[in-house]
Structure 1
Amino acid sequence: MTQSFVSRGALAACTAVLATPSFADITPADVWDSWQSYLSGFTLDMTATEQRTGDDILVTDVSISFEVPDEDGTVTITLPDMDFISRGDGTVEMKYGADMSVTARIEGEGGPDSQATIDIVPVGLSTIASGEPNDITYTYSAASLTYSVAEVLVEGAPIAEIGAQIEGDVTVTGMTGLVKIATEGLTSIQQDVRYDSMTYDVRFVAPEDDGSFVTAGTVDDLRVESALSISQDIDLENPFSIFNEELNISIEASQGASQSSMSGNDGNAPFSSESASASGSFGMLFNSDVLEASMSSFDASFNFFGEDIPLPVSGEVGEASMSFSLPLAETADPQDFFMNFAIVDAIIPDLLWNIFDPGAALERGPATISVGMEGTTKLMMGAFNPAFFESDDVPATLESLSLTDLEVSVAGAELTGAGDFTFDNTDLSSFDGFPRPEGAADFRLTGGNQLLDSLISMGLVSEGDAMGARMMMGVFTVAGPGDDELNSRLEVTGEGHVLANGQRLR
């Protein structure tokens, strides 16, 4: 029989459970009912045809649809057939139809539909569900899964008819993992998936010769852990309703060696690029209290060529990383934040050095740029408040700021520094609308004069410009104990005075 009912959509979860197989101390009916219950709160329409044989349930013609807010159209997702089979031990096996594919169709009002179909080819796919009706764990594994672009229609016509092309596939091997879905109270999804490797190969041609590219690559030892908690009172016609105190998203991902390549034409000229890294990671935490993110790459290399660039741009980086944490909640007390950025041991090949330094006047060792800051702030309005982004002024105050790390090392010169400041938000006149700071920062520069001399010998800096630079350094710095060392201490007093090494500048 065919059942149609309003669902609340977790299109993502359907695809995750389908594309990454699944775990239950339950019956096939419990598992199928949990899918319907899980989807029943996102104002999605779901239809399916059920066929029951004893305890087993075969579900065919599965589709999920929803209207696009503020647009004249509907998106419909068609999923492959699913067979929920009792294993006789309180667990349920899920099997998929031979024609395993996912189709997304956009139905416009008064015009032909557009759609895309992805074929899925599994090898050794196993999906087992266990747990309780409102708290089910899906364990899954597969020797490999390949996702391929099967068909793309634009306004009812094949994409080739408008002079475009898109084809390609993504294959993962050695996949194992689990998805845990709880639907009582909050909707909660936890996932831990691992792949021995992932490869991809994609080709795209834009219509009317507007450009094309081919990209391919591999990623080894990929692992993704994620957790999502979301309210069951989401209105898809009001996307902002998702941002409430019940929302919580966390992601931790890591990978081993990777490499990628891309070549094509941007519509005007050809280009090509290659990149590789030994390992990398990504993390994110997002809820009503905080937004945090971090990413890093180690032992990376890159090579880029474009027709407008006379020589390939290439290099190596020992470490590239970025992280930050920003408070989002309204509180009476100061909240912490931090931001860090680093490019460590960047190596530029001699071929590029020789373009502007053919005489090797500059030291060509690895370069490093590292900056770290932390501080405290007060938010007068939470970021999940719709009025937060409508305010003309940022509804927050800066309470303190510390430079925890500064290192710039290049061409034989090195600049380091650190400092701490607090801010008086009642005084916005001393510094032209900015809260008055109070505190000090210390800096140390080594090799600066030698670098300046080298730039003069190369003809990149004139003697006059160099004299002006040295006079400026004399205002802000004093000679240090080391060879070619300059030190500086910059202070802002409670009266708003600015001092450099004890000498008042303002």
Structure 2
Amino acid sequence: MFSCRKTGSGAALAALFATTASMAMADVTPEQVWEGWTGYYRDLGQQLTVGSRSRQGDTLVISDTQLTSSRDGSSFALTLPELRLRDMGDGRVEVQMAPEIPFHVEAMPEDGKKVTTEAVVRQKDLRAVVSGTPDAMSYDLVVPEVAVEVTGMQAGREDVPLRMQFTLTDNTGSYVLTQGPSRGLVSKFHAAKMTFSLSGANPEDGSTVTAAGKANAIDFDSEVALPAQTDMADLRKALNDGFAAQGRIAYGNMDYTVDTASPEGKGSMSARTDSADVSFSMSKAGLSYGGHGRGIEVSVNAPDVPVPIAASMSQAAFNFSMPLMKSDAAQPFAFLWDMDGVTISDALWAMFDPTAQLPRDPARLMVDLAGTARLDMDVFDPAMAETETAPGQIDTVDIKALELRAAGAQLTGAGGGTIDNSGPVPMPQGAVDLKLVGGNALIDKLVAMKLLPQDQAMGARMMMGLFGVPQGEDTLTSKIEMKADGTIYANGQRLK
């Protein structure tokens, strides 16, 4: 799929299809609707030029509109051939757009070879109605089909044989655009189905790639606060002025396939998921990004792998949050990574465990951390990229949960502590409690399978005996303590 590189450009494109479920009993005129849009673009730091603007009876007609933005050698340009805003005579305005809206993107990668992309948005039978007041305009949207297609790409002066397209069908949505000290944009969008396809080739070696997929029940919610007179090209300033954005995308079952061909041979991959969602938020308070997938299956056939690779997970989740702005007070951060119910195919197991000595129960890897930190400078301060020292310090760490479960063994843990940053080297102070179940049995099996030499197995058992306390059949517990004077203890025994 193709996505605009610039946040402002994507928001502007989305605003062209802005909608809302509210039907407030108040009046708006076509001119007020147009002024609301142009003000929103200006606050995003974009440039708007109009070929012509005229009144044709009850309809305001805007022709050959150009919407552009540029930064750091990259640019975005969208052309709206015609926009018709019709006064419906009851305080509402109907929006009609050209069926094709071309746009052009230029990006300058680190290698210095400019990448130019030509694309087009196609919509069929769009109906949008604006109601409300000039300070709180609401949009209702229904569009049977909207598609984005990449029609051409160049790297430098060379054509890139790449084509991409995605299509959304049975779309409905709502937008509320408000004005005041800052502009507000609250949106909801639903598509019954999405399909996408991709094809490309490498002229140098003749390799090719094709991909296709679909997803059902796509929902997108977002909320943006856009301060007036701020500079969105300076994200640091925009955040300090009050810029904030949050959004969530969720979809039902999705599946896709990828086929490749190269001088080494042919390959393929297929994947599916029962459902998934991704959320994002950014404001002066911090950045947060996370997602959750359920019922995930992946299958890969590669030319250099003798057997197909197949794996599945009952769920996979991640979350990351961090502060963005300088502060003398500690600010929270968090990190979560959870892969649960992981299984692999019997054919893959047989490559290293042909006699099935290892238990093949679903595996799990989960790390859940939280803590507090202080930043010495804003993350989007240009000086951040030039600093050679840590731009802040971590004050506390909380290991909320830790679990590694695989091949019949399970390691769990929890703990936390504080970090003393007063010296030349940060010194942790706290404790971590660990529990290992099935460790010796796993070592025995690995030795029997000749995957682990006896001398290494002996060393592993010695380490387990040093750090662990037996608590039943093949169960060890350990308490690792870090003291303020830099000493480290395991179960009360000093190690350092």
Q: TM-score, normalised by structure 1?
A: 0.87
What SS class does the counterpart of residue 240 from structure 2 fall into? coil
1:86 maps to 2:76? no
Q: CA deviation at 1:311?
A: 1.7
1:21-53 Cα deviation digits (max 9, x unpaired): 677730111112222222334251412312312
Distance 1:419 1:318 in 2: 27
Distance 1:414 1:369 in 2: 10
Between 1:82-91 and 1:390-399, the stretch displaced more is: 390-399
Does the CA-based 8 Å contact 1:38-1:183 persist in structure 2? no
Residue 229 of structure 1 is matched in structure 2 by: 225
Residue 4 of structure 1 is matched in structure 2 by: none
Residue 325 of structure 2 is matched in structure 1 by: 329
Distance 1:216 1:43, change over 3 A: closer
Match of 2:489 among 488, 491, 499: 499
1:443 maps to 2:401? no
Residue 28 of structure 1 is matched in structure 2 by: 30
Please tell me the residue identity of whatever aligns with 1:182.
T
1:485 maps to 2:475? yes
Residue 397 of structure 2 is matched in structure 1 by: 401
Residue correspondences, number: 480
Distance 1:292 1:10 in 2: 19
Residue 39 of structure 2 is matched in structure 1 by: 37
Residue 314 of structure 2 is matched in structure 1 by: 318
Please tell me the residue identity of whatever aligns with 1:29.
E
Distance 1:369 1:58, change over 3 A: same
Residue 77 of structure 2 is matched in structure 1 by: 76
Residue 152 of structure 2 is matched in structure 1 by: 152
1:271 maps to 2:267? yes
Residue 335 of structure 2 is matched in structure 1 by: 339
Please tell me the residue identity of whatever aligns with 1:296.
H
Distance 1:153 1:438, change over 3 A: closer
Match of 1:281 among 277, 288, 291: 277
For structure 2, list consecutive stretches of 5 or more residues without a partner in the other structure: 1-6, 109-113
Match of 1:252 among 248, 255, 258: 248
Please tell me the residue identity of whatever aligns with 2:59.
D
Distance 1:70 1:146 in 2: 29
1:168-212 Cα deviation digits (max 9, x unpaired): 432212211112223433233221101111111222234444643
Distance 1:389 1:324, change over 3 A: same
Please tell me the residue identity of whatever aligns with 2:479.
R
1:178-193 counterparts in 2 under 5 A?
A: 178-193=174-189
Please tell me the residue identity of whatever aligns with 1:57.
L
Distance 1:503 1:196, change over 3 A: same
1:107-154 Cα deviation digits (max 9, x unpaired): 99xxx99662415141x42101112224322210123223344x4275
Distance 1:349 1:106 in 2: 44
Distance 2:431 2:138 in 1: 55
What SS class does the counterpart of residue 244 from structure 1 fall into? helix
Distance 2:260 2:299 in 1: 15
For structure 1, list consecutive stretches of 5 or more residues without a partner in the other structure: 1-8
Distance 2:320 2:121 in 1: 38
Please tell me the residue identity of whatever aligns with 2:461.
R
Distance 2:129 2:218 in 1: 22
Please tell me the residue identity of whatever aligns with 2:56.
T
Residue 68 of structure 2 is matched in structure 1 by: 65
1:112-191 counterparts in 2 under 5 A?
A: 116-122=118-124, 124-149=125-150, 151-152=151-152, 154=154, 164-191=160-187
Distance 2:374 2:262 in 1: 46
Distance 1:335 1:147, change over 3 A: closer
Does the CA-based 8 Å contact 1:22-1:179 persist in structure 2? yes
Residue 374 of structure 2 is matched in structure 1 by: 378
Superposition CA RMSD, Å = 2.8
Residue 419 of structure 1 is matched in structure 2 by: 415
Between 1:14-23 and 1:468-477, the stretch displaced more is: 14-23
Distance 1:408 1:491 in 2: 21
Please tell me the residue identity of whatever aligns with 1:104.
H
Q: CA deviation at 1:420?
A: 2.0
